[in-house]
Structures are given as C-alpha cells and as structure tokens.
C-alpha cells in the first residue's frame, strides 16, 4: 500500500469530467505553471512552522518537528496558505488508496466515477492503480487529470484500470512550455500519442492566454501527432482567469469572449469536432 499526500477530496464535482464525480486532489507538482490557479497544491509542506504562529484558531501545532493539523478546530480561513512562503498548505494528509476509497464510497450511488487531479497525480502511480482497482470494483469510472510529464506507457497495469486521461497541453513549442511551466514537454507529446492510440485520451485541455499561449500552434501540433484521432476527442478551451493565481501571470487579464469564440471557430475549422469553452 503506497499512500499519497492528499490535498482535499471534493465529494461532488461537476467540473472534473463527465457526470457527477468525486474529485481527489493530491499535493505536489513537478511543474511551476505561471498561471496555476491552485498554487497551494504545488509544493509539499517543508515544516517551517510559520503558519503555526499565524493560525487564529490554534488548529495547527508542532510535534516532532512536523506541522500537524487538528481538523475539528479549523474554520478554513486560509491564513496558513496566505502566510506560507511556498504557497503551500500544512493540511494535506498521507492516505492509502483504501482510506481515500472510504471517502469515495460515501458518495455512491450519486456519482458515476472519480477523477484524480492535483498537484500532479501521476507522481503517485502505485496509489492511483490501487485506488482505481477499488473504484472499478464499485463500477466507477476512473479518470486522471494530468500535466502529462510522467511516462504513462511505463504503467500498463495502471492504464488497464484507468478509464481515461484528461491531458493538459500547455504549449507545443519547447521554449514556450519551459517559460510557462519551468519544465520540458517532450513527455507530454509522447503521452498524447500513447493515450490517443490506446483510446485512453478522455480530453485535451488548453488554458488560453493571448501572447503567452499559442493555441493555434498547439492545435497544429496535436493534429500532426495524433491525426484523425483528434476529431473525436474532446477539446476543452479554458479561458484563463487570474483568480487564485500567485505566479507570474497573477495580474494578467482574462481573454475576451470574442477571442475564445474565435479560437473555438479555428479549432472547428481544423477538424476538431468536440470543442468546448469553459
């Protein structure tokens, strides 16, 4: 049983895949996206303890050099995250797949599946596999929401129990990707191809910011890489919103509705058939 550091579990979510789902957010990400809208899931707590002093309800405390959290006392004021020099949170808990599934189970029969997001959930492949085996036994579909930087072809057993991956394609050009995320995108392209060919590509997502993200370049890249497969896979064009953003783009404005519609039209013209704006 390999546990994962769990940031939070949303019992009912309508924005993380088809139908009603329980969403599980892991803590920790290998990218540092300039537009990340939940930066508190990026870094794992370093136990520096600054948040302990700032907690108004006394629900955080030190024990053996670790910051611990007493959930009952907490009123979710957000002071800990606000004062953390790493924008992290002291609240995530190490949980096994069984422990997480116990939380999921409470929402059956109101959900059709689960989605694991983050942070970057593929940093915990063994945990994912164990969780998905439990969920599949309960007839729940299992989706991964990923930045695509883990080589998924190396985890055939996980892919067997995974119903699909919602893949971020943040940039196509290597330099642009690096500038936006601090990371490399070769693996994202490899995963795109692998998932499309194994019919595990549930959705492709692009966060749209004019000047920062070259959407047309991404669409061209996708088309060249997966060809006709791109026609029937959902493409979600996400309008950038700076709410919660703490990175470089925190003061950047959202693109206009006209811009989004224009991009959508271009995508349709290029042969993508299921294009949604959110």
Partner 1 sequence: MTDVLDLIKSRKLAYEQKVLSLAHAAENSVDVLHIPEKTKYYFEKNAIDHLFEGNAPYRPRYILPDYDKFIENGSEFLQLDPPKDLDELLNSLMILYRHVPSITSFPVYLGNLDKMIEPFIAEYSDDEVRKKLKLFLNYLDRTITDSFCHANLGPEYTRAGRLILEVEKEVQNAIPNLTLKYNPDITPDEMGELALNTSLFCANPAICNHKLNKDTYCCDYGIASCYNILPLGGGAYTLSRIVLPKAAKLAKNIDDFFHTILPDCLQSMGDYMNERVSFLVEESGFFESSFLVKEGLIDKDKFVGMFGIVGLADCTNILLEGTGKRYGHDADADDLADKIMHTISDFVTSFPAKYSPIAEDHFMLHAQVGMDYDKDVTAGVRIPVGDEPENISDHLRHSARFHELIPTGCSDIFSMETTARNNPAAMLDIVKGAFSLGVKYISFYEENSDLVRITGYLVKKSEMEKYRNDQVVLQNTTQLGAPNYDSNKLDQRKVRGV
Return residues touching partner 1 (CB under 8 A).
11-15, 18-21, 106-112, 278
**SS3 state of residue 10:** strand
Nearest CB to partner 1, comparing residues 106 and 261: 106
Nearest CB to partner 1, comparing residues 16 and 40: 16
Q: For 158, how many CA atoms within 13 A lie in the half-sphere containing its CB?
A: 21
Least distance (Å) between residue 274 CB and partner 1: 15
Nearest CB to partner 1, comparing residues 231 and 236: 236
Backbone angles phi, psi at 266, to 5 degrees: -60, -40
Cβ count near 72 (within 10 Å)? 6
d(CA 124, CA 144) in angstroms, rounded, equals: 11
Q: Which sign does the torsion angle of CA 237, 240, 245, 249 carry?
A: positive
Least distance (Å) between residue 140 CB and partner 1: 11
74 in Cβ contact with 31 (< 8 Å):
no
18 in Cβ contact with 112 (< 8 Å):
yes
Least distance (Å) between residue 49 CB and partner 1: 30
Nearest CB to partner 1, comparing residues 106 and 179: 106
The beta-carbon contacts of 242-245 under 8 Å, at least 24 apart in sequence, are 242/35, 243/37, 244/37, 244/38, 244/39, 245/35, 245/36, 245/37, 245/39
Least distance (Å) between residue 110 CB and partner 1: 4
Backbone angles phi, psi at 117, to 5 degrees: -130, -160
Least distance (Å) between residue 58 CB and partner 1: 22
d(CA 190, CA 10) in angstroms, rounded, equals: 30
d(CA 250, CA 218) in angstroms, rounded, equals: 23
Q: For 35, how many CA atoms within 13 A lie in the half-sphere containing its CB?
A: 22
Least distance (Å) between residue 249 CB and partner 1: 23
Nearest CB to partner 1, comparing residues 158 and 207: 207
Nearest CB to partner 1, comparing residues 21 and 189: 21
Least distance (Å) between residue 6 CB and partner 1: 17
Nearest CB to partner 1, comparing residues 77 and 108: 108
């Amino acid at each position: 049983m390999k546990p994962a550091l769990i940031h939070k579990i949303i019992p009912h979510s309508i924005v993380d895949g088809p139908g009603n789902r329980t969403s599980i957010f892991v803590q920790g990400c290998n990218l540092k996206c300039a537009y990340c809208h939940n930066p508190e899931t990026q870094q794992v707590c370093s136990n520096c303890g600054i948040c302990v002093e700032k907690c108004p309800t006394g629900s955080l405390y030190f024990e053996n050099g670790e910051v611990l959290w007493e959930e009952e006392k907490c009123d979710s004021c957000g002071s800990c995250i606000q004062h953390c020099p790493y924008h992290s949170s002291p609240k995530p808990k190490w949980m096994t797949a069984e422990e997480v599934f116990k939380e999921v189970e409470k929402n059956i029969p109101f959900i059709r599946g689960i989605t694991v997001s983050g942070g970057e959930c593929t940093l915990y492949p063994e945990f994912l596999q164990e969780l998905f085996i439990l969920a599949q036994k309960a007839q729940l579909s299992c989706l991964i929401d990923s930045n695509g930087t883990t080589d998924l072809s190396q985890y055939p057993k996980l892919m067997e129990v995974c119903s699909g991956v919602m893949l971020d394609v943040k940039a196509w050009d290597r330099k642009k990707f690096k500038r936006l995320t601090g990371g490399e995108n070769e693996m994202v392209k490899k995963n795109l191809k692998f998932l499309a060919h194994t019919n595990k590509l549930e959705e492709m997502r692009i966060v749209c910011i004019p000047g920062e993200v070259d959407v047309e370049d991404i669409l061209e890249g996708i088309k060249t890489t997966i060809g006709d497969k791109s026609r029937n896979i959902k493409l979600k064009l996400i309008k950038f919103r700076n709410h919660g953003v703490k990175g470089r783009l925190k003061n950047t404005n959202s693109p206009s509705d006209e811009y989004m519609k224009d991009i959508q039209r271009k995508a349709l013209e290029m042969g993508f058939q299921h294009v949604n704006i959110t």
